[in-house]
Amino acid sequence: MADLLKRGSDWLQQMRTAHMTSPVEYQRATEPPQVLMVNATFGQTRYEVVDETGLTVGSHVWDFLILAADLGVEPTPADVIVANGRKYEVMNFGTERAWRWSDPYRTTYRIHTRDIGAAT
């Protein structure tokens, strides 16, 4: 019998991609620039940091969930995602890298970004 959990995860990824994504432009920070059109699901990662005085500061980063097979390359800091008239720069998240796997079977990137302004 095939791995039932993997089959379920694959099905969920297919449903997310089919019904919960929007087209985005992924711009590689390469020379010359490489532009890829992919579908992505928008998300957020919220975090809090406590400083040495005990003050808690919270914020969030914008995340994009993109199938690794669709992107075809590993996300790197300084890449840019253009979505809904805004530009989002891929960035490292604290001491972590700019992305993490969104599922245990490593099919979807969860890419951390920051809003850098209007796409003009």
pLDDT band at 49 (very low <50, low <70, confident <90, very high): confident
User: Is-contact 64 42, C-beta < 8 A?
Assistant: yes
Single-letter residue type at 66: I
Residue 93 has pLDDT above 90, yes or no: no
Percentage of residues of the chain with pLDDT beyond 70: 98
Residue 65 has pLDDT above 70, yes or no: yes
Q: What is the pTM of this model?
A: 0.86
> pLDDT tens digit string along 69-78?
999 999 999 9
Q: How far is CA 103 from CA 17, 51, 95, in A?
A: 14, 32, 21
Say how far apart CA 25 and CA 23 lie, in whole Å: 7
Domains of the chain: 4-118 (2.40.10)
Beta bridge partners of 35: 27
Task: Report which DSSP code applies to 56.
Answer: E
Residue 1 has pLDDT above 60, yes or no: no
Half-sphere exposure of 36 (CA within 13 A, CB side): 20
Single-letter residue type at 30: T
